[in-house]
């Protein structure tokens, strides 16, 4: 469920959570500091008042005068409570004051103490007080008076309550605003993604030239945009090759179909001898066989290029296949007085029929383009993690510009190289490439003035993984 949540929502939630934690922590810190501060203030105040009471008592000549002056003090300090005790017996203090009910155990350690009575909150302090010697009945060995002094802290409580309310409101507001800001920032940060998405929406088969704006997006997205651009580049190249190919296919089929149609219609236009009809039909049959071969080659290519699982795998001696095929092409080679020779050997695991077909295509190609008396040599070499089968034939160089496209379907280097016997379908080399790719290998060509060499290159690694 979390996986489906939008990135913006996730970032906003995280941002809000973090700011809430920080702000709530800060709120607690502030209220704690304020409370501490109040305690310190109150302690100072109470100590101050204890000193004052001491001074008043010390300066008074009699307890009565002291009482009167203490009463005056209390009227001018609202919320202050004072009680004097002598041997746990109240000698001064308001009648019914909450101080009277305070157990003697509380605050005995000389530190401030808090307690509540009813709805009253109090903070108090105990101290000892020695009355002046002039007071009646005052003797040096008499126990000092006990002074209890307290402060009503209701105003602190009020303040804290309102502080907490203010803080809470502020926190809620701040969290909401930071959440909003987080959402905005996330949205803005992810804006380039939206741009990329909109750009991808405009890509169609006809508009594969669209590219993502790599410079306009932040570095984090630049890699993604670059990756998409590379993908588009590959698709565009493949697609245009496919388009070119279907155009070529239509053209390749149109010519023979047109010939057949014209020939058939012309021959139907008037009565002819039986032998003429036989001739025409035979010629049609030949043309149709070529078409059928083209279609079956196309199907073979389509299947092989779809990354088929090799139907049969067996260990094959390459040189044996080459020699078998030499026997097949023997008659053709001898006609052109071409000497075929082969050397080296290697064993590979492959689909025998396919590899045979690839080698056969290479040999027929070499014999076709070799000049009379020129040699056709096959070499099989092994090493460096690969096995190579190369077919060399003498003959004029293939222009360098044509080399990379030679394995494309229906590609013919130049008119003079086109099939003189019109037997070929223009798919021979493409079939070689497709077969090699199905075996995890490659097909390549090199050509110079003396020699043209086609190589089938198997990687031993790919072969072992297939076996």
Partner 1 sequence: MKILIVEDEPKAGNYLSQGLREAGFAVDLVTNGIDGLHHGLEGDHDLVILDVMLPGMDGWQVLRNLRSHGRQMPVLFLTARDQVEDRVKGLELGADDYLVKPFSFAELLARVRTVLRRGRSGLEPTSMKVADLELDLLRRRVTRSGKRIDLTAKEFGLLELLMRRHGEVLPRSLIASQVWDVNFDSDTNVIEVAMRRLRAKVDDAFEPRLIQTVRGMGYVLEAPEHTH
CB of 308 to partner 1, least distance (A): 8
CB of 417 to partner 1, least distance (A): 14
Q: Which of 330, 339, 385, 467 binds partner 1 (CB under 8 A)?
A: 330
Which two structure tokens, joined as six digits, stand for 361?
């295509």
CB of 426 to partner 1, least distance (A): 9
Report the sign of the C-alpha dihedral through residues 244, 250, 251, 256, in that order: positive
Taking CB under 8 A as the rule, which mask of x and - marks residues 216-245 in contact with partner 1?
------------------------------
**Count of CA atoms in the C-beta half-sphere (13 A) of 289:** 9
CB of 300 to partner 1, least distance (A): 8
Q: Which is nearer to partner 1, 230 or 320 (CB)?
A: 320
Q: Does 304 bind partner 1 (CB under 8 A)?
A: no
Q: Which of 12, 16, 360, 393 binds partner 1 (CB under 8 A)?
A: 360
Stretch touching partner 1 by CB under 8 A, among 15-23, 145-153, 261-269, 423-431 = 423-431
The b/e string for 416-433 (b: 16+ C-beta within 10 A; e otherwise) is ebeeeeeebbbbbbbbbb
Quote the CA–CA distance of 259 and 282 in Å, as a whole number: 13
Stretch touching partner 1 by CB under 8 A, among 102-110, 216-224, 293-301, 455-463 = 293-301
Which two structure tokens, joined as six digits, stand for 266?
């012309």
Quote the CA–CA distance of 135 and 61 in Å, as a whole number: 6
Q: Which of 96, 136, 311, 383 binds partner 1 (CB under 8 A)?
A: 311
The b/e string for 369-391 (b: 16+ C-beta within 10 A; e otherwise) is bbeeebebbbbbbbeeebbbbbb
Quote the CA–CA distance of 325 and 346 in Å, as a whole number: 16
Q: Which is nearer to partner 1, 178 or 360 (CB)?
A: 360
Report the sign of the C-alpha dihedral through residues 8, 14, 17, 21, in that order: negative
Quote the CA–CA distance of 81 and 94 in Å, as a whole number: 8
Q: Does 285 bind partner 1 (CB under 8 A)?
A: yes
Stretch touching partner 1 by CB under 8 A, among 13-21, 131-139, 190-198, 417-425 = 417-425
Stretch touching partner 1 by CB under 8 A, among 140-148, 198-206, 289-297, 397-405 = 289-297
Q: Which is nearer to partner 1, 368 or 377 (CB)?
A: 368
Q: Which of 220, 335, 341, 343 binds partner 1 (CB under 8 A)?
A: 335
8 Å CB contact between 260 and 287: yes
Characterise 307 by phi-psi region: left (phi > 0), alpha (psi -120 to 50), beta (else): left
Q: Is 347 exposed, middle or buried (0-12, 13-18, 19+ CB in 10 A)?
A: middle
Q: Does 59 bind partner 1 (CB under 8 A)?
A: no
Q: Does 406 bind partner 1 (CB under 8 A)?
A: no
Q: Does 411 bind partner 1 (CB under 8 A)?
A: no
Q: Which of 57, 151, 350, 367 binds partner 1 (CB under 8 A)?
A: 367
CA angle in degrees (0–180, nearest 5) for 342-345-348: 130
Q: Give contact residues for partner 1 (rule: CB under 8 A).
A: 278-279, 281-286, 288-289, 291-293, 295-297, 299, 303, 311, 324-325, 327-332, 334-335, 353, 356-357, 360-361, 364, 367-368, 419, 421, 423-425, 428
């Amino acid at each position: 469920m979390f996986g489906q949540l939008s990135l913006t929502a996730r970032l906003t939630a995280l941002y809000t959570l973090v700011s809430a934690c920080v702000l709530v922590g800060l709120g607690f810190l502030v209220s704690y500091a304020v409370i501490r501060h109040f305690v310190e203030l109150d302690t100072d105040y109470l100590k101050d008042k204890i000193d004052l009471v001491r001074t008043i008592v010390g300066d008074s000549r009699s307890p009565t005068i002291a009482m009167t002056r203490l009463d005056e003090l209390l009227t001018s300090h609202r919320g202050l409570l004072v009680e004097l005790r002598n041997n746990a017996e109240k000698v001064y203090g308001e009648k019914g004051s909450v101080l009277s009910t305070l157990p003697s155990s509380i605050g005995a350690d000389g530190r401030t103490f808090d307690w509540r009575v009813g709805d009253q909150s109090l903070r108090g302090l105990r101290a000892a007080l020695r009355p002046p010697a002039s007071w009646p009945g005052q003797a040096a060995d008499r126990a000092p008076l006990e002074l209890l002094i307290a402060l009503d802290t209701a105003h602190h409580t009020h303040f804290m309550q309102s502080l907490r309310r203010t803080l809470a409101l502020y926190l809620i507001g701040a969290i909401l605003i930071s959440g909003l800001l987080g959402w905005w920032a996330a949205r803005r940060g992810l804006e380039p993604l939206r741009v990329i998405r909109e750009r991808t929406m405009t890509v169609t088969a006809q508009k594969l030239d669209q590219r993502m704006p790599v410079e306009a997006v932040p570095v984090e997205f630049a890699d993604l945009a670059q990756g998409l651009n590379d993908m588009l580049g590959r698709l565009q190249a493949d697609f245009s090759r496919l388009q070119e190919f279907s155009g070529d296919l239509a053209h390749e089929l149109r010519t023979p179909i047109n010939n057949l149609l014209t020939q058939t219609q012309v021959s139907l236009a008037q009565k002819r001898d039986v032998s003429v009809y036989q001739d025409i039909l035979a010629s049609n049959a030949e043309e149709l066989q070529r078409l059928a071969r083209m279609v079956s080659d196309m199907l073979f290519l389509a299947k092989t290029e779809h990354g088929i699982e090799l139907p049969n795998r067996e260990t094959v001696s390459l040189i044996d296949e080459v020699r078998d095929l030499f026997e097949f092409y023997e008659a053709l080679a001898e006609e052109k007085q071409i000497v075929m020779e082969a050397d080296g050997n290697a064993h590979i695991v492959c689909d025998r029929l396919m590899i045979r077909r690839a080698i056969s295509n290479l040999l027929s190609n070499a014999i076709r383009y070799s000049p009379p008396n020129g040699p056709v040599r096959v070499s099989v070499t092994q090493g460096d993690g690969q096995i190579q089968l190369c077919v060399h034939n003498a003959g004029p160089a293939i222009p360098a510009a044509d080399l990379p496209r030679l394995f494309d379907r229906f590609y013919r280097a130049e008119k003079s190289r086109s099939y003189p016997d019109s037997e070929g379908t223009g798919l021979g080399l493409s079939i070689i490439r497709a077969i090699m790719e199905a075996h995890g290998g490659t097909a390549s060509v090199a050509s110079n003035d003396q020699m043209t060499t086609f190589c089938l290159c198997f990687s031993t690694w790919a072969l072992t993984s297939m076996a």
